Chains A and B, each alone.
Chain A
Amino acid sequence: MIKALSESVQTRPVAPVLIALFIGFSLFSPYFLTTGNMEALLTANSVVLIASVGMTLVFLLGGIDLSISTVISVSAVVSGLVMAGTGSIWWGAMAAMSVGLSVGLVNGLLIGLLGLTPFITTMATQLIARGVAFVLSKGIAVQGTPYGMLDFGFLTFHGIPAVTLTALLVVAVCMLLLTLTDWGRHVMLIGSNRNAARYSGINVRWVEVSVYSVSGLLGGIAGFISIATLGNAIPGVGDTLLLIIIGAVVLGGTTMEGGEGSIGRTVLGVGLLAVLISGLNLLGIPFYDQLIIQGLLIFLGTWLAMKLSARRH
């Protein structure tokens, strides 16, 4: 465990960039390093963090999951409806996870068993999930979510929001699964060379099905958490997140080709984007200039990270 963690902290070239940005923003904005801002930053990015971990797993496998963002939406809506109906947060959580898991399972079966292309398949399930979210909610936020959810969203331990802790717990579990189980090893190997994995007797299909399922499950958890952070279950909550999720994963250094990258990197990628957006806001930079700066920094950050890691080797 310790070893896995230390391994994941090493070879993380994004880290210096992240630290530099962090220090820079702290120096230039008096509001950046305040508990209020940090809390907001952590809370707002918990959903993205969980979903990005799912996307990381899929990327490592050499696939892509475009549906993950709408899985967030649809599971939030179903969870909200269940909570409104039963008044129980636990049932809501179960509902969110089972919705996510089932969408993921469908993805997995279509891709792993039938051999359909991940891009189009997940795009299709994305559309279907989005449609279902709208049909169920009629397009508006689900009414009657228990206040307990919002309290959960406000809860902090030593300044760290409970939702962030939940996200980190999920991250840790996935990290363990990926680095310390044969399943995780198989994911990496299949991503590295699918044929070779088949020739080595790895059950490629089952691993593919399971990875997409896990990705869906994580989308479900993210959907549930989104209710806590937003106070309501909203049908379109995840829809705008897709590019941010992909951006965070790739920024961390996990490639779409598969077999290369790690969850630790994705955490840093999410962190980098979060700090970047928050810092630019606090500096009072107009929205459109923020876009430009964001783009430049994403580019330079990745480039620098690549240089640094090249030097290390």
Chain B
Amino acid sequence: MLQDKAHPLLSVRNLTKSFSGKLVVAGISFDLYPGQVIGLVGENGAGKSTSKNMLCGLLEPTDGQILVNGQTVESNEGHAHGISAVHQELSLFGSLTVAENMCIGALPGSRLRVDWQQMQCIAREQLNFLGMDIDPDAAVFSLGAGQQQIVEIGKALLHADKVLILDEPTTSLTALEREKLFRILDKLKERGMAIIFISHFLEEIYRVCDSYIVLRDGHQVAGGALAGVSRRKLEALMVGRALEESADHGDVSDTGTEALRVEHLDSADCRDISFAVRHGEVVGIAGLMGAGRTEMAEALFGLRPSTGSVHVQGALLTERSVAAMKALDVCYLPEDRRNNGLFLNRPVRENLSAAAISRFIRRRLLKLGFAGERLATQTFSRAMGISIPHIDVKVDALSGGNQQKVLLGRWLASEPKVLILDEPTKGVDIGAKFDIHNRIGEIARAGAAIVVISSDLPELLQVSHRILVMRKGRIVGEFRRDQFDSVKIISLAASTGEEGLAT
């Protein structure tokens, strides 16, 4: 697949897209050479995913040209020219197996006879290549978020022959898998594949990209070789202002009373989980993909069958159900925002108020109507920095990061006493991420107990007072803030290092 390195593989000229008059991508132009990796960065809603969709033929550009090997590509056929993508919202089929998902774009065998054996082989090979232990026969819906993301990457890699676009491919991956992915990207690069890499993690951009393009409100505000551009500069370009460092959370006073105590929690994917969180404390939970963190959170929240006991504010919960939890001001932010979080075809307003609608019920006149819902949700939405024209747009039309902010907004707005956040900043841009970290700190200082599950270790190191490490469904270690050490945490999670470090 050796290509001529002197001629661009992909040229984009003045690519423009507007949704019913609103300009979303405003004339971006760039060239992409074989073996080159361009980082596409920008805030939430800057137009990155929209650009990707136009490149791989899912959206018709309002204006502009896409050229592959110097030839103009008609819209809707990017895929036919070897452009493939890892989509931000995974393009998987839940009820199909991993192997079927990976091979669906080019099923082996003939039209009338799919070669299952070969499909198995291809999938296995691909999974080995990715270094992942996933059963090719498993139905995708039964996989955790991280594994699904791996499947999506494997699927895209299978079909990519010229250009690969990765739209936030690492949001559910932990450091280990990320590094694996990057090494694969390096290999592809050597083979002459051209890559567009979209991410909110700037360290990843520096790790994999040669050049960069910054989008702000759909405009291409900067671009060029990455070497020599400082991280601060890049951030400033994206946000349009310099970012301040987020405040250090410091230590929590030991005096806080216990808000949440979990004892011997057992469920399908986690075993013998015991821990406690005090008021004002932020506990991070680290672990590899599929370590059972989501499972544990859902089990303790009453979303899955489980045994063991959970105490909230000292009182034992006899019946664990979402309603009971909510009554005690315990909240859970789910990881899978599309399936378990958002009401996609409902407006942002209803999504924001979904968990607290009863609070807005008008007291007068037969309790009909919702007083102040619009105002309150507008306030949340502004506080969360969600960029939308008005509060009644459907969530479906929002960019990935903004969707995440809506979801987060719903739970932060409900003023919880105990808050469990599963991957809270998935897909959120750097500016907003710092805001969210600060919010978490504020809420904790105000007396809430917070559990943060995250695959982004720096995030955990930043916000937590204490980090628990999970591996294969069990808690295998605990670190206090003064013991934080990313290497140790990772090695414990991966079980490559010494056993149980901290106490």
Asked if A and B form a direct contact in the complex, defined as CB atoms under 8 angstroms apart, the reply is: yes
Residues of A within 8 A of B (CB): 1, 176, 180-182, 185-186, 188-189, 192-193, 195-203, 259-260, 313
Q: Tell whether B375 is near chain A: CB-to-CB under 8 Å.
A: no
B396 nearest CB across to chain A (Å): 10
Q: A176-B368, A180-B368 are in contact. Are A188 and B346 (CB under 8 A)?
A: yes
Residues of A within 8 A of B262 (CB): none
Among B361-385, those with CB < 8 Å from A are 361, 367-370
Q: Which residue of A lies closest to B324 (CB)?
A: A201
Return chain A residues, CB-CB under 8 Å to B341.
Answer: 196, 199
Asked whether, in the complex, the Cβ of A199 is within 8 Å of the Cβ of B345, the reply is no
B358 CB-CB contact with A under 8 Å: yes
User: Are A189 and B361 in contact (CB-based, < 8 A)?
Assistant: no
Q: Are B334 and A180 in contact (CB under 8 A)?
A: no
B344 CB–A CB distance under 8 Å: yes
| Closest B residue to A188 using CB positions | B346
Q: Is B332 a contact of A185 with CB atoms below 8 Å? A: no
Residues B303 and A189 in contact, CB atoms below 8 Å apart: no
* A195:B322 contact, CB within 8 angstroms: no
Given contacts A180-B369, A198-B322, A200-B410, contact A185 B343 (CB under 8 A): no
**B355 close to chain A: CB less than 8 A:** yes
- Give the chain A neighbours of B369 by CB distance below 8 A: 1, 180
Bound CA span A313–B389, Å: 13
Q: Which 4 residue pairs of A and B lie closest in terms of their CB atoms, listed nearest first?
A: A192-B343, A201-B326, A180-B368, A201-B322
A259 touches B345 (CB 8 A): yes
In whole angstroms, how far apart are the Cα atoms of A210 and B345 in the complex? Answer: 23
Alpha-carbon gap, A196 to B332, bound state (A): 11
Determine if B346 and A189 form an interchain contact, defined as CB atoms under 8 angstroms apart.
yes
B230 at the interface (CB under 8 A from A): no
Residues of B with C-beta under 8 A to A260: 345
Give every chain B residue within 8 A of A202 (Cβ-Cβ).
354
Contact of A182 among B322, B344, B358, B410 (CB under 8 A): B358
A186 to B322 alpha-carbon distance, docked (Å): 15
B334 proximity list for chain A (CB < 8 A): 196, 199
State whether A192 and B344 are in contact (beta carbons under 8 Å apart), knowing that A182-B358, A182-B361, A185-B350 are contacts in the complex. Answer: yes
Sample 30 A-B pairs with CB under 8 A, ordered by A number. A1-B369, A176-B368, A180-B368, A180-B369, A181-B367, A182-B358, A182-B361, A182-B370, A185-B350, A185-B354, A186-B357, A188-B346, A189-B346, A192-B345, A192-B346, A193-B344, A196-B334, A196-B339, A196-B343, A199-B303, A199-B322, A200-B354, A200-B355, A201-B325, A202-B354, A203-B323, A259-B345, A259-B346, A260-B345, A313-B20
Cα-based distance from A93 to B358 in the complex (angstroms): 33
CB-defined contacts of A189 to chain B, threshold 8 Å? 343, 346, 350, 354
A-chain residues with CB within 8 Å of residue B410 when the two chains form the complex: 200
- Which residue in chain B gives the minimum CB-CB distance to A202? B354
Within 8 Å CB of B368, what residues of A? 1, 176, 180-181
B342 at the interface (CB under 8 A from A): yes
Q: Which residue of B lies closest to A312 (CB)?
A: B20
Q: Quick check: is B340 within 8 A (CB to CB) of the other chain?
A: yes
User: B332 to A199, Cβ gap below 8 A?
Assistant: yes
- Which B residues are in CB contact (< 8 Å) with A188? 343, 346, 350
Cβ contact within 8 Å between A182 and B357 = yes
Q: How far is the CA of A97 from the CA of B340 in the complex (A)?
A: 37
User: In the complex, which residues of chain A have a beta carbon less than 8 angstroms from the beta carbon of B355?
Assistant: 200-201
Report the Cα distance A201→B326, complex, angstroms: 7
Residues of chain A with a CB closer than 8 A to B303's CB: 198-199
A196: which of B326, B340, B370 is its contact (CB, 8 Å)?
B340
Specify the chain A residue showing the minimal Cβ separation from B407.
Answer: A196
Please indicate the chain B residues that have their CB under 8 angstroms from the CB of A259 in the complex. Answer: 343, 345-346
A293 → chain B, closest Cβ, in Å? Answer: 33
Instruction: Please name the residue on chain A nearest to B397 by beta carbon.
Output: A313
Closest-by-CB residue of B relative to A258 is: B345
Residue of B nearest to A260 (CB): B345
B contact residues around A198 at 8 Å (CB) = 303, 322
Point out the residues of chain B lying under 8 angstroms from A199, CB to CB.
303, 322, 332, 334, 340-341
| Alpha-carbon gap, A200 to B407, bound state (A) | 10
A200 vs B332: C-alpha distance when bound (angstroms): 8
Q: Which of B326, B341, B357, B370 has the most CB of A within 10 A?
A: B357
CB distance from A36 to the nearest CB of B (A): 38
CA distance A259 to B339 in the complex (A): 15
Interface string of B433-445 (1 = CB under 8 A from A): 0000000000000
Distance between Cα atoms of A1 and B425 in the complex (Å): 39
Shortest distance between the CB of A299 and any CB in chain B (Å): 23
Q: Which B residues lie within 8 Å of A193 (CB)? A: 339, 342-344
**Taking CB as reference atom, which chain A residue is nearest B342?**
A196
| B354: nearest chain-A partner, CB-CB | A200
Are the CB atoms of B370 and A180 closer together than 8 Å?
A: yes
Closest to A192 in B: B343
Chain B residue numbers with a CB within 8 Å of A192 are 343-346
Smallest beta-carbon distance B239→chain A, Å = 30
Nearest B residue to A181 via CB reads B368
Nearest CB in chain A: distance from B347 CB, A: 10
Extra pairs beyond A193-B344, A195-B340, A197-B354 (20, CB < 8 Å): A1-B368, A176-B368, A180-B369, A181-B367, A185-B354, A185-B357, A185-B370, A193-B342, A195-B339, A198-B303, A199-B303, A199-B341, A200-B355, A201-B322, A201-B323, A201-B326, A202-B354, A259-B343, A259-B345, A313-B20
Q: How far is the CB of B373 from chain A (nearest CB, A)?
A: 9
Please report the C-alpha to C-alpha distance between residue A195 and residue B340 in the assembled complex, in whole angstroms. Answer: 5
Specify which chain B residues have a CB less than 8 angstroms from the CB of A313 in the assembled complex. Answer: 20
Q: Which residues of B in the span 315-358 have a Cβ within 8 Å of any Cβ on A?
A: 322-323, 325-326, 332, 334, 339-346, 350, 354-355, 357-358
Closest to A195 in B: B340
Q: Which residue of A lies closest to B332 (CB)?
A: A199
Interface-central residue, B326, B332, B354, B370, by most chain A CB under 10 Å: B354
Shortest distance in angstroms between A176's beta carbon and chain B's nearest beta carbon?
A: 6
- In this complex, the member of B342, B343, B350, B355 whose beta carbon has the largest number of chain A beta carbons within 10 angstroms is B343
| Nearest B residue to A186, CB-CB | B357
Q: How far is the CA of A192 from the CA of B342 in the complex (A)?
A: 9
| Shortest distance between the CB of B32 and any CB in chain A (Å) | 34
Closest B residue to A257 using CB positions: B345
* Set of chain B residues within 8 Å of A197, measured between Cβ atoms: 343, 354
In angstroms, how far is the closest chain B Cβ from the Cβ of A91? 28
**Cβ distance B166 to chain A, nearest Cβ, rounded Å:** 27
Which residue of chain A has its CB nearest to the CB of B330?
A201
| Bound CA–CA A1/B369 (angstroms) | 8
Closest to B365 in A: A1
A138 to B369, CA, bound (A): 47
List of A residues within 8 angstroms of B326 by Cβ: 201
Residues of A within 8 A of B367 (CB): 181
Residues of the B chain whose Cβ atoms lie less than 8 Å from the Cβ of A200: 322, 354-355, 410
Contact code string B236-257 (vs A, CB < 8 Å = 1, else 0): 0000000000000000000000
Minimum CB distance partner of B334 in chain A: A199
